[in-house]
Structure formats: structure tokens, C-alpha cells
Amino acid sequence: MRKLLRTGLVAAMAATALISVSHASETWPEKPLNLIVPFGPGSSPDSMARAVADHASETLGQTIVVQNRPGASGNLGTNVIAKAAADGYTFGVSITGPMVNNTLLYSDLPYDPKKDLVPLTLGVHQHNILVVAADSPIKSFDDFIEGLKKSETQYNFPSTGAGTVSHLAVELLLERTGGSAQHVPYPSSPAAVTSIIGGDTHFAALPPIAVLPLIKDGRLRPLAAVSAERLSFLPDLPTVAELGYPGIEGSGWIGFVAPAGIPEDIQTKLSEAIVEALNSEEVGQRLATMGMEPAGGTPEAFAQYMDEELQRWAPLIKRLNLSVN
């Protein structure tokens, strides 16, 4: 009898829990949402997140509060997202490093992107642009490739840090072309750009937001887009794929993620609200001013893209023996 009573009690508790979760999913969201950004105010992820949050909050009928949690190359804030309650009220944005490359660069990440986080949607692409100073003797992509293969030229290039897209995209290009150049890491995109203009470095593959203003005012010369397709804001600029080197992509993408365990229907609602925002004309115009191209899609498509990124960069990271700890 006691065993039957215990079995009945467990079944009743389980049923109550399911009803509670179902009710919560049906009424979600009942309060403001928190959107974690693992970088500081004014950063690219922050600007993108705020543009999307403004629109998505109207769709969901609740305020979305952006919280900046910078530190450890984005790992700190991404860990905050991973460890949050999986009730749909906390989600966030993250980028290539914390979601893909840092799994290889760091030996002790406090979270596992595949186990502790679920994808909502890819947000935007920021495909790097291969640039040189306006007064550089490198006048074209062909000149650039020819110079890479001559030992006497001794090119060097800046990046925003070892293992970042601005570093790896160039290393991949060097691998495919059989050329060589010396990597010089800098603390930020502006510092990297300054090194090119000042003549301390010879070329770079940097995000649009860092180089577009200087391309427009004539201080930098673009050679190619490090992407498979032409950029909407530089439609006349050929891609490295068009110029003979397919498969080389360098995007400082930003995507939306949530804690693992979030109810599937809430995950779907949240994903759809974000994608709706990304596809809106208003948000699209705001993103275009920052050199970002909307890339909203399904959670499954985002997961597949991150797997492709891991396959793209893992062999290179291992060959270069890159690590942070």
C-alpha cells in the first residue's frame, strides 16, 4: 500500500510540474527579459543587441533590458548566459570566440557551448575587408598575392588578437596562397587600423565598422571582401572567392543564444521575435550603418553554421599552436 501511495505521489508531482511548465510557457513572457552582452557598451555586439532588443520588445510585449558583462574575451558574459535560469527570461548574444574558437584556445572554459547553451538565431555577419593604406604600393589583389610570395617583401599584418577572425582569416589566406607574412597582434581594431595608416603594418583583414569610414574618406584602399558573396554596402568590391580563393571566409558574426533547458516553445517564440526584428526595415537600416548584414535564421541553421566554423578554424588553430591557457 505504501509503495502504491509513494508511486501515486511521485506521479502526481510530475504531472503538477508538467502543468506548471506548460502554463509558464503559455503565459510567457510575463515580466521583462534580460539580454546579456559579453562586451562593453558601444561595442559591435552591444550596438547590434540594442537595435534588435528595441524591436523584439514590442513584438513580445515586454521590455528587454540589456546588461553588459564584459571580460575574458567574452567568456565571462557567455558563462553568465549559460548559468542563468532556463526560463526564457535571460538570453544573450555571443560571438565566434566564446562559442567556437575559445573551446580550442582555452583549456578551462567554465562552460560548454554545446551542452550549456542553445542557439536561437545567427544575428549578423561582419565579413572582414582586406585593406591596405591608400599610399601603399600594393594597388590590387594581384599585387598583394604576388608580394606575399616574395621573400624580400616581408609583409606584416595586424589583428585584434591571436586566434581572432582578423588573425585566422589572413592565416587561412596565406595557407591557400602559399604566401607568408608576420602577424602582429593589437589590442583593438582602431589600433590595428592606425598601424596600417602609420606604415607599421602593410595590410589587414578587419571588420567593416573599423575600416569603412577610412575607405570612404580615402585613407584605406580595399582589395577584397573576405566572404563568399559580395557585401551589400560595397557591391563593387570583389570577394576572395571570385578572385580565385573559394572557401575563405572571415566573419565577425554575432548570434543569439539561451541557457540549455529552455522550454522548446519559448525558444521558438524568442527566436522568431529576434528574426522578425532582424528582418525589419528599421533594424536593417541601423545595422547597415555599422557595416552589419542581418543573417537571421533557425536555431538549427545557426548550430550548423557554428559547426562549420569549428571545422574551418580548428585545423588552423592547431597548426599554429595557439592557446591562451
Q: What number is the average pLDDT over the span 123-145? A: 96
Dump pLDDT digits (tens) for 82-97: 999 999 999 999 999 9
In which band, very low, low, confident or very high, does the pLDDT at 129 lie, cut at 50, 70 and 90?
Answer: very high
- DSSP string of 1-61, one letter each residue: -HHHHHHHHHHHHHHHHHHHHHHHHHH--SS-EEEEESS-TTSHHHHHHHHHHHHHHHHHT
Strand partners, 231: 234
Dump pLDDT digits (tens) for 12-55: 555 444 454 455 678 899 999 999 999 999 889 999 999 999 99
In which band, very low, low, confident or very high, does the pLDDT at 154 lie, cut at 50, 70 and 90?
Answer: confident
> Given this model, what pLDDT does residue 20 score?
47
Average pLDDT of every residue of the chain:
91
Question: Has residue 190 got a pLDDT over 50?
Answer: yes
When mean pLDDT is compared across 191-195, 264-268, 321-325, the lowest value belongs to 321-325
> Given this model, what pLDDT does residue 111 score?
97
- Report the C-alpha gap between 236 and 230 in whole angstroms: 8
Q: What number is the average pLDDT over the span 296-325? A: 94
> Given this model, what pLDDT does residue 11 score?
56
pTM of the full structure: 0.88
- Report the C-alpha gap between 49 and 35 in whole angstroms: 8
- Report the C-alpha gap between 90 and 108 in whole angstroms: 24
> Given this model, what pLDDT does residue 25 score?
75
Dump pLDDT digits (tens) for 211-250: 999 999 999 999 999 998 999 999 999 999 999 999 888 9
- Report the C-alpha gap between 297 and 272 in whole angstroms: 9
> Given this model, what pLDDT does residue 51 score?
96
Helix (H) or strand (E) holding 67: strand 64-68
Based on its alpha-carbon atoms, the radius of gyration of the chain, rounded to whole angstroms, reads: 22
- Domains in the chain, start-ordered, CATH in brackets? 32-125+252-319 (3.40.190.150), 129-225 (3.40.190.10)
Contact 289, 76 (CB under 8 A): no
Dump pLDDT digits (tens) for 168-182: 999 999 999 999 999
> Given this model, what pLDDT does residue 152 score?
77
